[in-house]
Amino acid sequence: MALYPILLNLNNRTAVVVGGGLVALRKVRDLLDTGARITVIAPEVHPELKALTLKQDRIVLEQRPYRAGDLDGAVLVFSCTDSHVVNRQVFEDAESCGIFINAADDPPNCSFFLPSFARRGDFILAVSTSGTSPALAARLRRTLEQAAPKNIDGLLDALKAARRLLLDNAAFSHLNSSQRGQILKTIVNSDEFLQELYYAYLHGTLAHCLLKHIRNTR
Q: How many CB atoms lie within 10 A of CB 112?
A: 14
pLDDT at residue 7, rounded to an integer: 92
Enclosing H/E stretch for 18? strand 14-18
Beta strands in 22-170 (DSSP E): 37-41, 59-62, 76-79, 100-103, 116-120, 123-127
Q: What is the dihedral of CA 47, 48, 49, 51, to 10 degrees?
A: 80
**In terms of Cα–Cα distance, which of 167, 192, 40, 200 is closest to 217?**
192
HSE-up of residue 170 (Cα within 13 Å, Cβ side): 0
The verdict on pTM exceeding 0.85 is: no
pLDDT at residue 218, rounded to an integer: 65
Give the total residue count for the chain.
218
CA distance 144 to 8: 22
Residues 6+ apart with CB under 8 A from 60: 37, 38, 39, 40, 53
Q: How many CB atoms lie within 10 A of CB 160?
A: 13
pLDDT at residue 217, rounded to an integer: 72
What are the pLDDT tens digits along the chain (218 aa)? 688 999 999 999 999 999 999 999 999 999 999 999 999 999 999 999 999 999 999 999 999 999 999 999 999 999 999 999 999 999 999 999 999 999 988 889 999 999 999 999 999 999 999 888 989 999 999 999 999 999 999 999 999 999 999 999 999 998 999 999 999 999 999 999 999 999 999 999 999 999 988 887 76
- Read off the DSSP letter of residue 108: G
Residues 6+ apart with CB under 8 A from 164: none
